[in-house]
A and B are shown apart, each in its own frame.
Chain A
Amino acid sequence: MVRLAVKRLVFGALILWAVSVVVFLATAALPGDTAQAILGREATPERLAALRLELHLDDPLVSQYFSWLGGLLTFDPGRSLVNGLPVAEFVGPRIVNSLVLMLTAAVVSTPLAMFLGTWSAVRRDRAADHVTAVVTLVLAALPEFVVGITLVIVFATGPLRLLPAVYVGTGQVTFVDLVLPALTLVLAVGPYIVRMMRATMIEVLESEYVQQARLKGLPERTVLLRHAVPNAVGPVAQVVALQLAWLAGGVVVVEFLFRYPGIGYALVDAVNNRDLPVVQALALLIAALYIVVNLLADLVSLVANPRVRTAIR
């Protein structure tokens, strides 16, 4: 068990290293002049040379990579080319904001979606089940910015001006700023969890141990809460984890839409400004977050499910 966990951790670290190579190659080694791309066509040869020197663009690729990696490992990934701030200082508060947003979405969506899935399974083939099925299918299809814009149209414009359409503050995030972005993310990840919970619960409800519990004459409520739901949680945990990991990327578009001051919005901004050090640091950070959540999910499902624990050596 511990050996397996360690193995997963080592594998995660290896993937993270490979990710850093991809991030570096995508931004530094793609055909085209990086300095020219950053400064634009009108740049003078002197400024180009100065930037190449600052970013060590004339060094061999391998030594460029290692000096960049060294910077990351010492929490000093360089300075932003746009505002001159150290990347770490610029990114720090934004990470907190994004984590708050992701956690809010996760804490709201997971229990709600699991409840809806269970309810839908219990009401199998009745009207409520069909409605849930169609609604989740529709929501699962919609790109998150379409959901977000629709929420803005409904709640922030027109007769109902309940909530701000975009964030207008200066770094501090309050509850009202959080509502619409979090709701968008909840509607984006929820449907998959609902569908998986429903499918698993239907299987569980037809199983012999649930039948046995019913035959014993236990009240349906007890059968559901004590016998069925705990057995459905294991398989659903995987999907929940996958969805929560998705949030790491999902925040990008949603934060941009609501001008929410997190790492996603910062990434889009940096890409638009060709702010290379910030793009590299944020892309790596989001990928790292994604890997860590997946890893946690793996470990949780290892702990939660004895069958997995013994089956995979």
Chain B
Amino acid sequence: MTAAVAPASLLRTAARTGRTRVGLVLVALVVLTALLGPLVAPHDPTDFVGVPFGRDSLFGADNLGRDVLSRFLHGGQLLLVLSIAATVVGVGVGTALGMVAGYRGGWRDELIMRIGDVVLAFPQVVLALLFVSIAGPKVWLLVTVVGLSHAPRVARIMRDATLMVVERDFVKAAEVTGTRRLRIMTGEILPNVTGPLMVELGLRLTYSIGLIAALSFLGLGLQPPTADWGLMINENRIALTVQPWAVVLPVVAIAVLTIGTNLVTDGLARASAGLGRGVER
């Protein structure tokens, strides 16, 4: 059950299983590609190096005649940064709200959870499309909308986790000695819900990557001429038979990244539940 565990030790426990290690390697592969890629790319991502869909270089040219390999190597950084930002926003807001709802209860609980229900009535991608439709696909808006669409989902989990902690003696003791509520939440409750918190971070990161890449794929996320994996798939899928690399490379990168984060999340969930006789063995 929930116990005070440092995030680092949780990760260490998780990393004892083979699957988590595979996940960490997969994530590292894609992150390194995204971070170091721009340094080793042979061309600028927006340089025209050949005829559209030409096959002069290693992976050929894209729909406008730009080098596929160079665009691929440049195309991961923004996706990673935006996904991490959206995850931090979503899990941060969701955790704060979930802890307040669980700890304070009463009308605060009711208010937070009912507003959450309204947000939960929208599929995440529809909520994002709705806000993008008039305000336009701005980067800050993408991060905010994706993050806030995670928040009620995170809040539900963190509220349940908080409810299990608030009944414990050390919280009661802190209350009796007159410790301030904010101090109790950050000092007593938060360290005892790190398990579910870490799992949520992993889960929401996986979904953020998928959602932001999907929005770019729809043409409503990152805008041309940015080099971005989701956008590359959108731009080049009409020529899948002539020039498959321009689609295959970003698809594989997104797949490997999300599989990696999900394997790590699964490991964290097992470690946090205790590897004993759980339902999720």
Contacts and interface: CB of A to CB of B under 8 A. Distances in A.
Interface of A: 15-16, 18-19, 22-23, 26-28, 30-32, 34, 37, 134, 137-138, 140-146, 149-150, 152-153, 157-158, 165, 199-200, 202-203, 246, 248-250, 252-253, 256-257, 267-268, 270-272, 274, 276, 279, 283, 286-287, 290-291
Listed residue (B131, B206, B217) with the most chain A CB atoms within 10 angstroms of its CB: B217
Nearest to A19: B121
A279 B132 CA distance: 11
A199 B279 contact: yes
A111 to B, nearest CB: 22
A30 B220 contact: no
A143 B210 contact: yes
A256 B126 contact: no
Which label, helix, strand, loop or mixed, suits the secondary structure of the A interface?
Answer: helix
Closest 7 CB pairs of A and B: A249-B123, A143-B210, A141-B262, A18-B118, A141-B258, A271-B133, A199-B279
Given A271-B220, A279-B130, A30 B281 contact: no
B191 interface: no
B118 A15 contact: yes
B118 A22 contact: yes
B168 to A, nearest CB: 25
Given A30-B131, A146-B251, A16 B121 contact: yes
B213 A143 contact: yes
Given A19-B121, A283-B130, A291-B121, A153 B248 contact: yes
Listed residue (B117, B132, B209, B220) with the most chain A CB atoms within 10 angstroms of its CB: B117
Nearest to B253: A146
Listed residue (B133, B217, B218) with the most chain A CB atoms within 10 angstroms of its CB: B133
B266 interface: yes
Contacts, number: 149
Which label, helix, strand, loop or mixed, suits the secondary structure of the B interface?
Answer: helix
6 contacts: A26-B131, A32-B136, A34-B134, A137-B263, A146-B258, A153-B247
Given A19-B118, A287-B122, 5 more contacts: A22-B122, A165-B240, A271-B220, A283-B129, A286-B126
A52 B211 CA distance: 33
A30 B217 contact: no
A287 B149 CA distance: 14
B134 A37 contact: yes
Interface string B168-196: 00000000000000000000000000000
B244 A157 contact: yes
B279 A202 contact: yes
Contacts of B217: 145, 253, 256-257
A252 B129 contact: yes
Interface residues of B, number: 47
B23 to A, nearest CB: 9
Contact of A142 (B220, B241, B255): B255
Contacts of A157: 240-241, 244
A34 B214 CA distance: 25
A275 B220 CA distance: 14
Contacts of B259: 137-138, 141-142
Given A15-B117, A32-B134, A143-B209, A272 B220 contact: yes
Nearest to A195: B280
Given A149-B233, A250-B123, A287-B126, A279 B218 contact: no
Nearest to A149: B251
Nearest to A158: B241
A149 B255 CA distance: 11
A137 B125 contact: no
A34 B251 CA distance: 35
Given A199-B280, A272-B219, A248 B121 contact: no
Listed residue (B119, B123, B213, B279) with the most chain A CB atoms within 10 angstroms of its CB: B123
Contacts of B118: 15, 18-19, 22
Interface in B129-148: 129-136
A194 to B, nearest CB: 13
Nearest to A289: B123
Contacts of B218: 252-253, 256, 268
Nearest to B254: A146
Contacts of A153: 240, 244, 247-248
Interface in B31-55: none
Given A32-B135, A142-B258, A290-B121, A150 B251 contact: yes
Contacts of B124: 249
